[in-house]
A and B are shown apart, each in its own frame.
Chain A
Amino acid sequence: MAGRGKLIAVIGDEDTVTGFLLGGIGELNKNRHPNFLVVEKDTTVNEIEDTFRALGAFSAGEAEASPDHHDPQLLNETPNRQFLNRDDIGIILINQYIAEMVRHALDAHQRSIPAVLEIPSKEHPYDAAKDSILRRARGMFTAEDLR
């Protein structure tokens, strides 16, 4: 695994995940956990948040210090959430409307890797005003700074 690089993960609706898996990013075998999450109507926000955080927001040390530290028992019970501490994910693709549900988790993600890319979904077109990266970039320029 180390020799072949990092994975691209995807959190999205059925069409988005199916499309990117068709593109060849999917990983799933007996011993590994999937690098994708299909968000359906009954998928809870906690599930999405757990998956996202586990995909890349936490290192081993940060997990304990986080105020939203999850019960290890819960993590053990949801093996596909064991994206925690995965250092084999390089990029996370996430539908923007799903990113909105876990915006606080995205905003808290400051590391450059994994990179998080927000993409549109069929029902929700992309809105640049909501993108975390662009919001931070907009915040760079104030009238004071440009004087």
Chain B
Amino acid sequence: MAAADLRAELDSLLLQLLWDLEELESKRVALNARVEEGWLSLSKARYAMGAKSVGPLQYASRMEPQVCVCTSEAQNGLQKFRVVRAGAQSPEEVGPREAALRRRKGLTRIPEPEVFSASPNPLNWFGILVPHSLRQAQASFQEGLQLAVDMASLQIHINWGRSQLRGLQEKLKQLELGAA
């Protein structure tokens, strides 16, 4: 019976692994597509701004990350990644009063100070008015980052599944040897 239980567990683990691998592959295809879109947009931006205008020469001398990852522990003790963006805050809620104030002639709304840390948009490295293609490139790579984070979590899960599978296979072998 122990062997039967082990086999059932093995089957379930194998199915989960195969599902994770399929999910990883579909995310990889999406990531590759986003990255390729990003390169194309960067090329278009270079065409508009000049060949040397979009590259390492424009990197800022000081950079603060706008995107980080947080690790959290799932129920099975596995680490899972989650994207954290600088300045992540609840959207500003504009009530009817504020909207009415805005519509009044001559009344200027005092801009609220930026709550998040002063992490300038990397687009600013390339000038004040950047072509739309550069913004598109940024959007593509930002989507790619989300996919990359999901893929990293899946990889951790797959590696864990692999080690569990090996362990169960060893146990099963020992049980079968013992029974023999």
Residues in A lying within 8 Å of B, measured CB to CB = 4-8, 14-30, 34-35, 38, 90-91, 93, 112-113, 115, 117, 119-120, 122, 126, 128, 133-134, 136-137, 140, 145
Give the complex CA separation of A74 and B27 in angstroms.
39
The reply on B49 being an interface residue by CB < 8 A is no
Decide: A136 near B54, CB < 8 A? Known: A19-B38, A22-B141.
no
B84 nearest in chain A by CB position: A5
A120 nearest in chain B by CB position: B32
Residues in B lying within 8 Å of A, measured CB to CB = 17, 21, 24-25, 28, 31-32, 35-36, 38-39, 42, 54-56, 59-71, 79, 81, 84-86, 119, 122-123, 134, 137-138, 140-142, 144-145, 148-149, 151-153, 155-156, 158-160, 162, 165-166, 169
Chain A residues within an 8 Å CB radius of B25: 128
Chain B residues within an 8 Å CB radius of A8: 65, 67-69, 145, 148-149
**Chain A contact residues: helix, strand, loop or mixed:** mixed
Decide: A29 near B56, CB < 8 A? Known: A15-B42, A91-B152, A115-B156.
no
24 A/B residue pairs, CB under 8 Å, sorted by A:
A6-B71, A8-B65, A8-B145, A17-B56, A18-B42, A19-B42, A19-B141, A21-B59, A23-B67, A23-B122, A23-B138, A23-B145, A25-B65, A26-B122, A29-B64, A90-B68, A90-B71, A91-B149, A115-B81, A117-B151, A117-B155, A137-B162, A140-B162, A145-B169
Chain A residues within an 8 Å CB radius of B36: 120
A14 nearest in chain B by CB position: B55
